[in-house]
């Protein structure tokens, strides 16, 4: 019987609770968003006593289902002031599921400055002093914790940015190799964990049994089809394993949608130098790893290990968004320097998107020159040092722009835009504007039909069909997050008539229930309604669901503009 583990960070006590009926059929994002809505006062200070951070494995996590090892974390965001769910791979989700823990809730707030870590095992929950790790980055912390508690232990920890409670601080989850390349990255969740004075959470599932499957034979049949679907899809089975998410650099640049020099044009003259092709060329020449999974059971293997010019490990989980944020956005073309900034962000525990776009704000404000990669690296290092400039940059794009007097700020709900210009990929632009999470491509990835011709085609430059595209993808994504599945399974699901049904079959076989595809749609809608309701209570209005005025400019090379009204956008998430 699954339980909810509540951890009182003030008293250093814990309780296991039965799962209330209202939450019984929920997991992942569905569970975190419902619990945040029910338990967190929407007007509370995100770093205060009343806020909570909730970690929940997905409904399929811990099972043999391929690509089901994702972990959701929910809280009130220090960055946006609204609700936030962030999602990561690594080892923790599956281990929590095998321990039959439906959610871990960090609540209350210590009065002192001493840090703790929480060790969760089959038969115990223990609070241990963590001050010896304070001030250390995630690389050093994870290495020491693996040495102490055993290899392959699930670890989540914060770096210096989380300890400083910076608005863009992330929580890092150890990947199967023990490096911090997997992040609960967006929205400042690391700051909330830091406010609770929790340096790390260690999850050890030794001694547990395999999860019970209600109908093992039906599960095997469904999972066989699921694996086949993922491995034979041209994106899931070919593009992502070959080049990782960086496969998109040349694709999006060719489409004229790669935001360059703070969203002034959609093409970067040096895109090839920061592309997936160039990244893989370097990895193969230097002894890196081109394809590996971010969690056990991954069949897509879009993560990787990048080495420096001397053949030494530099970073892992080197993503398209990071290549863009520090690259084209800042007019930086030196791939090794971008890799170094990725490494630093993972070590300090700060979101690479908001930090990379913040570096662009520093360039926009004249602090350093456009394209100066060495100066950019030195600025990122300030975050780890805790200097005033580091605190500004580590608080994200909007905060940095405000501090430097910049008015050209690519953010919605104070969260930085990712790597697609909304004027050339309008389906994604609608998601940026309307998602309760702030500007977030993963909330409804319109690139599918806008650029990649996955799940049909919708013209990325015109209004027609894009509201519906964003709406449908936001609903589907919420449901995928609830299941604990990797977002990238959506490519295969959209292109196979039995895609949604196969996920339903997996859920039904695991739990002995009888869901239908319509139930999955209803779940996705209910998640979004919970998130919208939290933001409404927090004071958000339709004025928060629109893009900044900088996107009224004509955007080359297609000379498009952003032409959706605020009222039109309000129709997106009406169910």
Residue 188 and residue 54 share a domain: yes
Domain boundary among 419, 441, 459: 419
- Is residue 565 in a domain? no
- Is residue 436 in a domain? no
Q: What's the predicted TM-score (pTM) here? A: 0.97
* pLDDT tens digits along 83-131: 999 999 999 999 999 999 999 999 999 999 999 999 999 999 999 999 9
The pLDDT value recorded for residue 559 is 97
DSSP 502-514: HHHHHHHHHHT--
Residue 251 and residue 186 share a domain: no
Residue 17 and residue 86 share a domain: yes
Gap between the Cα atoms of 545 and 471, Å rounded: 14
Residue 327 and residue 187 share a domain: no
Residue 34 and residue 107 share a domain: yes
Residue numbers of the chain with a pLDDT score lower than 50: none
Q: What is the 3-state secondary structure (H, E, C) of 91-119?
A: CHHHHHHHCCEEEEEEECCCCCCCCEEEE
Helix axes 466-483, 28-39, angle to 10 degrees: 90
The pLDDT value recorded for residue 1 is 67
- Is residue 414 in a domain? yes
* Contact assessment for residue 92 and residue 71, using Cβ atoms and an 8 Å cutoff: yes
Residues 6+ apart with CB under 8 A from 246: 275, 276, 279, 318, 319, 320, 323
DSSP 40-62: S-TTS-TTSTT--EEEEE-TTTT
Q: What is the 3-state secondary structure (H, E, C) of 425-436?
A: CHHHHHHHHHCC
- The radius of gyration of the chain's CA atoms, rounded to the nearest angstrom, is 22
* 3-class secondary-structure state, position 244: helix
- Is residue 536 in a domain? no
Residue 263 and residue 408 share a domain: yes
- Is residue 179 in a domain? yes
- Is residue 448 in a domain? no
Residue 179 and residue 252 share a domain: no
Number of domains in the chain: 2
- Is residue 460 in a domain? no
Looking at residue 179, which CATH number applies to its domain? 3.60.9.10
Nearest CA among 345, 321, 319, 352 for reference residue 258: 321
Residue 264 and residue 338 share a domain: yes
Residue 168 and residue 22 share a domain: yes
Burial 260-285 (b: 16+ CB within 10 A, else e): bbbbebbbbebbebbbbebbbebbee
Tokens linked to 115: 């840090």
Domain extent for 294 = 247-419
Gap between the Cα atoms of 563 and 72, Å rounded: 34
Domain boundary among 174, 203, 232: 203
Cis amide prior to 557 (ω within 30 degrees)? yes
- Is residue 361 in a domain? yes
Residue 199 and residue 337 share a domain: no
Looking at residue 276, which CATH number applies to its domain? 1.10.569.10
Residue 394 and residue 278 share a domain: yes
β-strand partners of 126 = 119
Q: Which long-range contacts (CB under 8 A, 24 or more apart) does 545-554 make?
A: 545/412, 545/433, 545/434, 545/569, 545/570, 546/412, 546/433, 547/412, 547/422, 547/429, 547/432, 547/433, 548/409, 548/410, 548/411, 548/412, 550/263, 550/408, 550/409, 550/410, 551/263, 551/422, 551/423, 551/429
Gap between the Cα atoms of 322 and 319, Å rounded: 5
Residue 166 and residue 57 share a domain: yes
């Amino acid at each position: 019987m699954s339980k909810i583990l509540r951890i009182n960070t003030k008293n250093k006590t814990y309780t296991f609770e039965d799962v209330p009926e209202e939450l019984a059929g929920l997991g992942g994002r569905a569970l975190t968003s419902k619990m945040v809505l029910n338990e967190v006062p929407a007007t509370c200070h995100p770093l205060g006593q009343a806020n909570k951070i909730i970690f929940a494995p997905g409904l399929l996590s811990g099972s043999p289902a391929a690509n089901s090892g994702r972990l959701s974390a929910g809280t009130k965001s220090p960055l946006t002031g609204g609700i936030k769910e962030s999602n990561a791979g690594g080892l923790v989700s599956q281990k929590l599921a095998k321990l039959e823990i439906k959610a871990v809730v960090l609540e209350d707030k210590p009065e002192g400055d001493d840090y703790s870590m929480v060790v969760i095992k089959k038969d115990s929950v223990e609070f241990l002093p963590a001050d010896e790790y304070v001030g250390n980055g995630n690389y050093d912390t994870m290495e020491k914790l693996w040495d102490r508690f055993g290899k392959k232990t699930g670890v989540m920890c914060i770096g210096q940015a989380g300890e400083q409670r910076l608005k863009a601080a992330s929580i890092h989850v150890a990947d199967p190799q023990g490096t911090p390349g997997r992040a609960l990255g967006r929205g400042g969740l690391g700051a909330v964990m830091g406010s609770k004075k929790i340096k790390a959470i260690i999850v050890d599932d030794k001694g547990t049994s395999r999860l019970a499957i209600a109908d093992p034979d039906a599960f095997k049949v469904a999972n066989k089809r699921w694996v086949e679907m993922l491995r034979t899809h041209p994106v899931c089975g070919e593009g992502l394993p070959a080049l990782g998410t960086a496969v998109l650099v040349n694709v999006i640049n060719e489409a004229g949608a790669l935001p360059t020099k703070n969203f002034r044009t959609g093409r970067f003259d040096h895109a090839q130098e920061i592309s997936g092709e160039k990244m893989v060329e370097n990895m193969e020449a230097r002894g890196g790893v081109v394809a590996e999974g971010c969690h056990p059971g991954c069949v897509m293997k879009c993560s990787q290990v990048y080495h420096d010019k001397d053949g030494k490990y530099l970073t892992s989980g080197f993503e398209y968004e990071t290549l863009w944020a520090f690259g084209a956005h800042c007019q930086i073309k030196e791939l090794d320097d971008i890799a170094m900034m990725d490494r630093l962000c993972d070590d300090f525990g700060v979101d690479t998107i908001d930090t990379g776009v913040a570096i662009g704000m520093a360039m926009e404000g004249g602090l350093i020159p456009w394209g100066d990669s060495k100066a950019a690296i030195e600025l990122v290092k300030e975050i780890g040092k805790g200097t005033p400039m580091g605190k500004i940059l580590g608080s994200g794009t909007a905060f940095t722009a405000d501090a430097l007097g910049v008015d050209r700020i690519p953010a919605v709900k104070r969260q930085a835009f990712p790597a697609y210009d909304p004027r050339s990929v309008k389906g994604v632009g609608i998601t940026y504007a309307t998602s309760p999470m702030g500007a977030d491509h993963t909330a409804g990835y319109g690139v599918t039909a806008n650029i990649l011709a996955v799940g049909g085609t919708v013209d990325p430059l015109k209004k027609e069909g894009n509201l519906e595209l964003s709406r449908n993808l936001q609903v589907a994504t919420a449901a995928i997050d609830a299941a604990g599945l990797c977002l990238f399974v959506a490519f295969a699901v959209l292109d196979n008539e039995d895609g949604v049904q196969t996920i339903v079959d997996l859920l039904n076989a695991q739990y002995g229930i009888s869901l239908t595809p319509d139930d999955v749609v209803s779940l996705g809608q209910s998640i979004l309604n919970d998130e919208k309701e939290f933001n409404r209570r927090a004071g958000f209005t339709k004025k928060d669901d629109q893009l900044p005025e900088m996107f009224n400019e004509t955007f080359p090379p297609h000379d498009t503009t952003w032409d959706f009204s605020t009222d039109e956008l309000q129709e997106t998430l009406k169910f």
